[in-house]
Structure 1
């Protein structure tokens, strides 16, 4: 089956030329989600109760900041609902990229335990080629494929390797979940060990890891370094995030940075008093500008980098 040519984004409402994206992207978000293993209903973005609020937030961001694109990394076992993603995309008039893969081990679906790497790879490729379930909607990225701790567990290793092989077979890129920012180098070694080029890999949640040396090592390898939990002050302050980001920029690695907020609970929505999807634009980026980050660098980190990551393009191509 033919796959999208380079510089084409596969979105939930159809293919989109990457060079038509004139405004910023959110590189790691959730618009529909169910991670409610505790039964308290907190880690949920329900397709019935919360869709209108999500669409309204994205519409406001399009109108105020020119938001064009959301990379939605809810994958298998996380309450993925691509029909609702398509409805949100149409209502908000924003491109949305859906994902496939498996999250970290506590959220693995049953087939992980009894399937081989080859079988898991086949599952992912079938979704990428044929669409998710009966929807016909095809994922445009692999993610957020996860691990926790400094070294992935055996099931997490299996899933990461399957993700890399599916990426190689289909031309998509891989975004990871590194729990609390840990284990990113081990993830990168596993993925590149399967032959996947580093520039088609984004290592997640690095703004939760206060270790500039690790960030620089990941960026120097050619991988993307995701500062994607902006505004989640209960995990890390934005002041610390900004210090870590400035260190990476000053080291010459702005072309490896991805930025987002990772909204993953309905309590984070603005209409429930949370920081919302726009915290990056309303709060964090103004602080970055005040610290000397110019508009070209902001465009690089919020638009050109996500487009290059998704399409597998080289630095000079955007």
Structure 2
């Protein structure tokens, strides 16, 4: 299957979670560590990567520009704040309006996404609530895409209910890491409220067997949700890179998509998911 104009909807051109996790493996830079892999996936049809790093976890827009020049891959910029304990030290003492102003400035300078903004595993902290409140305000002002983080797929319904209560344009909302919930009903809940869901931990089989992701995607496609699905890898560690023994960025193209085809997902649906859906969300 030949694909063109592929978008990886949840990646991190630069991410630094090393302090919070006390692990140097969690400092990853595409520019410093993975240019060869990026050139490989560009040759295989990837033309756009969504940068889900933001304030506090190492986003670097200047390096994004270098990646674009070196590889030909467009990097979609994000703004916002991740989750506890990785939030910048000023977030607890900032007002919602303070956080709004930071995001407004970034969007005026080219960011198209608010994300990834997250909730902790089974818990939504006060600081995280503040970030979501600010994100909702700025989304309604700017119509930016919002990408959330669900820790191991928890709090999907709670995040959806929050956005619905704020009267957000749900077509602009992407809930990430949903497969890790291992709960198809929770995923359907998000879809039925009009949000998009991202199967963006592809290759991370220690958390969930690949067969489950494939089964979920096939089921949702058959139920008519194709235009609300996205796929990506969420590579965040040096050890995830192919040269370091990991699956690498091409895994979704070389391994996962062939598995989808083998299991009966149609080419036209895969093409819609990985080449068209993010563009439609941007334009919604």
**TM-score (norm. length: structure 2):** 0.95
Residue 58 (structure 1) aligned to one of 10, 29, 38: 38
Per-residue deviation at 1:191? 2.2
Q: Which residue of 2 aligns with 1:174?
A: 146
Aligned partners of 2:69, 2:281: CA distance in 1, in Å?
24
Q: Which residue of 2 aligns with 1:114?
A: 93
**Count of residue correspondences:** 281
Per-residue deviation at 1:55? 2.1
Q: 1:155 to 1:304 in 2, by over 3 A?
A: same
Q: Which residue of 2 aligns with 1:188?
A: 160
Kindly report which structure 2 residues correspond to 1:1-318, keeping only aligned pairs within 5 A, or say none: 23-37=5-19, 38-46=21-29, 51-63=31-43, 65-129=44-108, 131=109, 138-311=110-283, 313=284
Q: 1:187 to 1:289 in 2, by over 3 A?
A: same
Aligned partners of 2:248, 2:161: CA distance in 1, in Å?
34
Q: Is the 8 A contact 1:31 1:54 kept in 2?
A: no
Aligned partners of 1:90, 1:257: CA distance in 2, in Å?
29
Q: Deviations over 1:121-155 (max 9, x none)?
A: 111101211x3xxxxxx212110000013452221
Aligned partners of 2:4, 2:207: CA distance in 1, in Å?
32
Q: Name the Cα RMSD after superposition.
A: 1.5
Per-residue deviation at 1:73? 0.4
Q: Which residue of 2 aligns with 1:6?
A: none
- Secondary structure in structure 2 of the residue aligned to 1:175: strand
**TM-score (norm. length: structure 1):** 0.85
Gapped regions of structure 1 (runs ≥ 5) = 1-20, 132-137, 314-318
Per-residue deviation at 1:40? 2.7
Q: Deviations over 1:23-71 (max 9, x none)?
A: 111000012111002433011114xxx52542221211121x2111100
Q: Is the 8 A contact 1:216 1:251 kept in 2?
A: no
Q: Is the 8 A contact 2:122 2:151 kept in 1?
A: no
- Secondary structure in structure 2 of the residue aligned to 1:111: coil
Q: Is the 8 A contact 1:127 1:139 kept in 2?
A: yes
Aligned partners of 2:84, 2:160: CA distance in 1, in Å?
18
Q: 1:310 to 1:54 in 2, by over 3 A?
A: farther
Per-residue deviation at 1:22? 5.1
- Secondary structure in structure 2 of the residue aligned to 1:112: coil
Q: Is the 8 A contact 1:226 1:258 kept in 2?
A: yes
Q: Is the 8 A contact 1:227 1:259 kept in 2?
A: yes
